[in-house]
Amino acid sequence: MTKRNDTVVTNPWGMLRQFTSGRIALGRTGISLPTTPQLEFQLAHARARDAVHHELNTDTLHQAIIGLPLVEQCVVVESSAGNRATYLQRPDLGRRLSSGSREQLQVLASQKKGVAKYDLAFVIADGLSALAVETNAVPFLQALLEIEGQSKLSLAPVTVVRQGRVAVGDEVGELLGAKLVVVLIGERPGLSSPDSMGLYMTWDPRVGLTDESRNCISNIRPAGLSYEEAANKFSYLVGEALRRGVTGVQLKDEAPASQLEGRLSNFLLGN
């Protein structure tokens, strides 16, 4: 039964709103949304648009990355999309480095000492939400390095790519000579998640690979998958990728279930 509160008719499914950030059970006023949910929707839409057009602050990000343990070098490059408008209109240009950036990484690779191939190359790209990268990339790497602090993996210089899409990591990894490339990128903003970061890892990166070659960990953010949980998943997948020499459809996430599992009751079944 619906309940009338002044002019707003509440929804009987309202109790489910505590379990999701989705826009459910908003109620109605006549045949329209109440004013508050309508204004909240407009605000969320504005935040999503702002996230898409937000320019990545590479100077601040570069300084934060250089301050991380085990990170010896960080370089900032750009894709073939020269600006944000071009990036949004031409996805193909965001998948390849500019000629100047390609030469920059070739010079960097020629200075490599001590290893024939790096085990791992981190690439950080703004994607469709630079806000997500600015918010989550460094805290995630901090959580990861706490787990991997004793590992003997050789790390390539961290590469920050302006106007970059996922596939640009294949070219970076190929140029630097990495066995495995990991791209941290801002995901397409949702109306409840303008700050969601994704992680894509690819074995034997090279230009021309497609998405079945990658593994993805999505929704990394304080209100989504925590940095610690994402770092644990990542650590498992990297270990398996290096051991088996594969990623993508040939590599499944068979890591132990989250420690949170079993602690949360199913609200449909009760306690």
Q: Which amino acid is at 12?
A: P
34 and 111 together in one domain: no
Instruction: Please report whether residue 263 resides in a domain.
Output: no
**What is the C-alpha separation between 188 and 130, in angstroms, rounded?**
10
CATH code of the domain containing 135: 3.40.50.11240
Task: State residue 192's pLDDT score.
Answer: 80
206 and 122 together in one domain: yes
Domain extent at residue 244: 56-250
Task: State residue 153's pLDDT score.
Answer: 87
DSSP string, the chain: ---EETTEE--TTGGGGGG-SS-----BBTTB--HHHHHHHHHHHHHHHHHHHPPP-HHHHHHHHHTSTT---EEEEEBS--SHHHHHH-TTGGGSB-HHHHHHHHHHHHT--S-SSEEEEEEEE-TT-HHHHHHHHHHHHHHHHHHHTT----BPPEEEEET--TTHHHHHHHHHTEEEEEEEEEPPPBTTBTT-EEEEEEES--TT--GGGEEEEEEESTTSB-HHHHHHHHHHHHHHHHHHT--GGG----PPPPTTTTTSPPTTT--
98 and 218 together in one domain: yes
Task: State residue 31's pLDDT score.
Answer: 84
31 and 77 together in one domain: no
Instruction: Please report whether residue 268 resides in a domain.
Output: no
Instruction: Please report whether residue 262 resides in a domain.
Output: no
127 and 245 together in one domain: yes
76 and 15 together in one domain: no
Task: State residue 264's pLDDT score.
Answer: 41
40 and 171 together in one domain: no
Task: State residue 118's pLDDT score.
Answer: 93
Instruction: Please report whether residue 265 resides in a domain.
Output: no
Exposure b/e, 123-159, CB count within 10 A at least 16 = b? bbbbbbbbbbbbbbbbbbbebbbeebeeeeebbbbbb
Instruction: Please report whether residue 260 resides in a domain.
Output: no
Task: State residue 149's pLDDT score.
Answer: 65
Task: State residue 265's pLDDT score.
Answer: 42
Its pTM stands at: 0.85
Per-residue confidence in pLDDT tens, the chain, 271 aa = 444 456 888 888 888 878 877 778 888 888 888 888 888 889 988 988 988 988 999 999 999 999 898 888 999 999 999 899 999 999 999 999 999 999 999 999 998 877 788 999 999 999 999 999 999 999 999 999 888 765 788 999 999 999 999 999 999 999 999 999 999 999 999 888 899 999 999 999 999 999 999 999 999 999 899 999 999 999 999 999 999 999 999 999 887 665 445 434 443 444 4
85 and 204 together in one domain: yes
136 and 169 together in one domain: yes
61 and 175 together in one domain: yes
Number of domains comprising the chain = 2
Instruction: Please report whether residue 139 resides in a domain.
Output: yes
171 and 152 together in one domain: yes
